[in-house]
Amino acid sequence: MNKWILLFVFFFTYSMAATVQLKKVDGSTGSLIDGVKNIPLTTNVAEVVGLKITVRSDNENHELNAVADGFGINDLSDTNTNERIRFNGGEKMVLSFDKDIVITQFDFQFFDDGERFFIEHSNGVMEITWDALSHKSSDYINTNLVISANSDISFYVTGGDDIGLQSMDVDVLDNDNLPPLTLTPSNSTLYLSAEVENPSGREFSLNSSHALESNEWTRINTFSTSTNWVITPTASQQFFITSAVD
């Protein structure tokens, strides 16, 4: 049998967490990016020390618009029908962070039944419908959207939809000091192993997913010393190690 590193393994642990406010309130990221058009602006994420964001619209007439009670895009060429604190069809915000992150919640406004909000990233497009919201009366959805450092994320709606975006919960991913995960395949069985050097009592978690950009990932078990597992995987199953922090 040949021993090899699993290609679809991701190593990370949560190191910082915060709600990134896009509204224009004191000490918010929204107050820093208000007024940005299609020329990228790089600035600090006000709510997360050490994290930077680069943001722009997709058109010189589209201006990011943060106010005290919401955030959207203002179409400067349409002063009559444009909803200034919502995303309207044809408007787009593009942003990236300078570190690997996971977005665990999006908090929307004015999200109505039948509307859709799209979040495009390197692994595909997340289509969010009203039915998929975790809390429909509060317009938010819980996610596990992993985004690599300096990777563009685009936010938009289509057609006649108009939806506002108030905030997103962001965790910075720290890839250091996690044990490597290796496997030995044998027929339809995987023999996984993680070697913990100098055990200190710190707990790790072995997890699996069929699509890391979705909300679906499962903790298999936790461990604090070198551990082996025998698993019969399903199609496209991915395995990764995190720090065991809920």
pTM, two decimal places: 0.68
For residue 112, what is the domain's CATH number? 2.60.120
166 with 192, same domain? no
pLDDT value at residue 197: 81
Contacts of 78 (CB under 8 A, 6+ apart): none
For residue 216, tell me if it sits in a domain: yes
Per-residue pLDDT of the chain (246 residues; tens, 9 = 90+): 443 334 344 444 444 458 999 999 988 999 999 999 999 999 999 998 788 999 999 999 999 999 998 999 999 998 776 678 899 999 999 999 998 898 989 999 999 999 999 999 988 899 999 999 998 888 999 988 889 899 999 999 999 999 999 999 998 886 556 777 887 788 888 888 888 887 777 888 888 877 654 446 788 889 999 999 998 877 777 787 777 754
pLDDT value at residue 83: 74
Contacts of 110 (CB under 8 A, 6+ apart): 83, 86, 139, 162, 163, 164
SS (H, E, C) the chain: CCCECCCCEEECEEEEEEEEECCCCCCCHHHHHCCCCCCCEEEECCCCCCCEEEEEECCCCEEEEEECCEEEEEECCCCCCCCCCCEECCCEEEEEECCCEEEEEEEEECCCCCCEEEEEECCEEEEEEHHHCCECCCCEEEEEEEECCCCCEEEECCCCCEEEEEEEEEEEEECCCCCCEEEEEECCEEEEEECCCCCCCCCEEEEEECCCCCCCEEEEEEECCCEEEEECCCCCCEEEEEECCC
Tokens found for residue 92:
């787009």
pLDDT value at residue 17: 57
For residue 189, what is the domain's CATH number? 2.60.40
140 with 210, same domain? no
220 with 131, same domain? no
**Quick one: which of 165, 159, 107 has its CA closest to 136?**
107
pLDDT value at residue 123: 82
Range of the domain at 209: 175-243
Domain count, the chain: 2
168 with 183, same domain? no
28 with 109, same domain? yes
81 with 122, same domain? yes
Q: Which of 174, 199, 234 is the last residue of a domain?
A: 174
pLDDT value at residue 4: 35
148 with 235, same domain? no
pLDDT value at residue 121: 93
Bridging pattern class, strands 140-147 and 101-109: antiparallel
161 with 74, same domain? yes
Q: Which of 174, 198, 219 is the last residue of a domain?
A: 174
32 with 146, same domain? yes
72 with 21, same domain? yes
